[in-house]
Structure formats: structure tokens, C-alpha cells
Amino acid sequence: MTDSTTERDLVLTRLIAAPRAALYRAWTEPELLKRWFAPKPYSVTEAETDLRPGGASRIVMRGPDGSEFPSAGVYLEIVENARIVFTDAYLRAWEPSPKPFFTGIITFEDAEGGTRYTARARHWSAQDRAAHEAMGFHEGWGRCADQLAELAASL
Amino acid sequence: MTDSTTERDLVLTRLIAAPRAALYRAWTEPELLKRWFAPKPYSVTEAETDLRPGGASRIVMRGPDGSEFPSAGVYLEIVENARIVFTDAYLRAWEPSPKPFFTGIITFEDAEGGTRYTARARHWSAQDRAAHEAMGFHEGWGRCADQLAELAASL
């Protein structure tokens, strides 16, 4: 990892008491993803997970007042039970988005007591990283990780 | 194809008297790629073609005065003898480049007399498309397509 990359990354990591396969399922099966991907009281109303390089990742979140927040991206790399990479640089294969903001790199590694879960948001610029952090990255992704851990432990 | 995409694309298309497989080889085998990818008197001194989603595409061109022009990207989609997609949005998997500029979408289709060859440069903005056109896209890619056609016909 180069310094120039590190200064553009935001990273969340947890030891989760569930096997890698359960975390992978929670990230990739739409009906499971809906149960943890939005920090409550937000919810996920739609989820599409076309798991292949170039496949669409599309999620719609709904706020408590009914506002909807769609997000679109594509998967870049899928390694079952181990690694998921996606980006918002494309709306679908291969239509550039208005602004490439970040690449998500999600890894699941065996660890004592369960799985080492790491969610890395790698931005195109240090400014975008700072903006994402100011938008509440750590709180938002942290609360979702709690919800993910609870769900994965129940699978 | 949406209008918003079309206005960000630069497209070169040719009917080439060679089979799809010959064009695919010329695009993917480093020793062949070196023979056509730079408009003469420029040359290609190094070429790396790691043909898988996330694999590195790295090419160094050299000008007649010895100046070198390296370019780095990654492949996003590979369909043998049919389609190659790459981008400069990443320097390697998955390190964001300083500026995502374009995605290259190369297609080879059967046609009477040979292969319909289409090279599409899809930019992240209409401004970048205009800049690429002003840099000499049509002349540069056109001269390379001539060299490619000559090489492919000899394979």
C-alpha cells in the first residue's frame, strides 16, 4: 500500500463472530442486504446485486420521512466468501458516472473467534476522502457493521 | 446508448480485412501490440497486457527524440476475439489514478469482407471528450488503425 493510496482511504475493521460465508451472503443476497445496509431508522427498499465484473450494484435507501436515496455502481471483482470490490465510477457497465467518488473494497478473512471484516472506501482524491469522513463515514458504516454482525451471527 | 453517453464518446470504426481473432491477438499479445499501437515514428518500447478484470494494461511509447510516454490502466472486461474494455481510472487494481479520463471499449464483429472494428473512447465528461479530440484523437487512432489493419492482415 503506497502512502498516496492510504491518504485517500477510509477504513472500518471489525472482528465479527460469524463465518466468512455468512458475511459474504449478507453482502450479496438482496433480501439479506436489505436487513443491515442502511443505518436504522433508514431502510433499504431496493437492492440489486449482479455479482460479476461489470454487474450492477443498485441500492435505494429510504429515510424516516420517506425521502429516497438511490445509489448505483458496478462490481469490479468478486471472490466468493473473501472479497468484493465495487465502484461508483460507473452507473452501469460501462457508463461513466457524473463523478467517480470511491471504490469499495470489502474483505473477509478467517480470524480467531470468527472473521476479520474490513470495509475500505478508497477515494479518487484526499479531498473526497475528507468530505466522506465529514459526511459521517465512521458513524454510518460503523452502525451498519453492527447490524451486519448481528445478522451474520444469526445465519 | 443514451445521449449523455454519446456526447462523451469518441468513436473510430473500420472494416478490416482480417478475422476477429487476428485483431484480438494484435490487441492482446505484447509483441504484436508493439508493432502497431503507436503512430509512427513513435514506437512502443514496453507493453504489459494482463488480460483479466483488474489486470494491468501498461504501455510505454517513445517519441522520435527519445521522450517516453508511459500509460497505465486496468482491464475491466475481456471477451476473447470479441471485446476488450479498459480504463485509466485505476493505475492498477484498485489504485485510483490522479484523473479518470476515459474508458476504452474495443469491439470486433464479423462483417462481410472481414471484421467490423470499433474503438470507442468514453470520457467522464464532455469537456474531456473535447480535449481528447483536440489532442488529435481521430488522426492518432486512425493512423494506428491503419497499422493495425496491415499487421492483422499478415497474421
pLDDT at B66 over 70: yes
* Length of chain B measured in residues: 155
Q: In the structure grid, which three cell numbers stand for residue A155, read together?
A: 445465519
CB contact under 8 A, B89 and A105: no
- Residue A26: inside a domain, yes or no? yes
- Residuewise pLDDT in 10s, chain A (155 residues): 444 557 999 999 999 999 999 999 999 999 999 999 999 999 999 999 999 999 999 999 999 999 999 999 999 999 999 999 999 999 999 999 999 999 999 999 999 999 999 999 999 999 999 999 999 999 999 999 999 999 999 99
Q: Could you tell me if residue B2 is inside a domain?
A: no
Q: Which of A2, A76, A93 sits opposite B54 (nearest CB)?
A: A76
If phi > 0 it is left, if psi is from -120 to 50 it is alpha, else beta; for residue B101 that is alpha
The CATH number of residue B18's host domain is 3.30.530.20
Interface predicted TM-score of the whole assembly (ipTM), two decimals? 0.90
CA distances from A129 to A11, A117, A119, A138, A143 (A): 11, 20, 14, 12, 19
Is residue B3 assigned to a domain? no
Which residues in chain B are closer than 8 Å to A95, comparing Cβ atoms?
2, 5, 122
Name the residue facing B124 among A54, A76, A100 (closest C-beta): A100
Domain that holds residue A83: 9-154
Q: Is residue B4 part of a domain?
A: no
Please report residues of A whose CB lies closer than 8 A to that of B8.
96
Q: How many CB pairs under 8 A join A and B?
A: 66
Q: Is residue B74 part of a domain?
A: yes
A127 falls within a domain:
yes
Residue A109 lies in a domain: yes
Number of domains in chain A: 1
Give A96→chain B minimum CA distance, Å. Answer: 5
In chain A, which residues have their Cβ closer than 8 Å to the Cβ of B90?
Answer: 103
Residue B117 lies in a domain: yes
Q: Check CB contact of B70 with chain A, cutoff 8 Å.
A: no
Three-state secondary structure call for residue A36: coil
For the whole model, what pTM was predicted? 0.93
Which residues sit opposite B152 in a β-bridge?
A: none
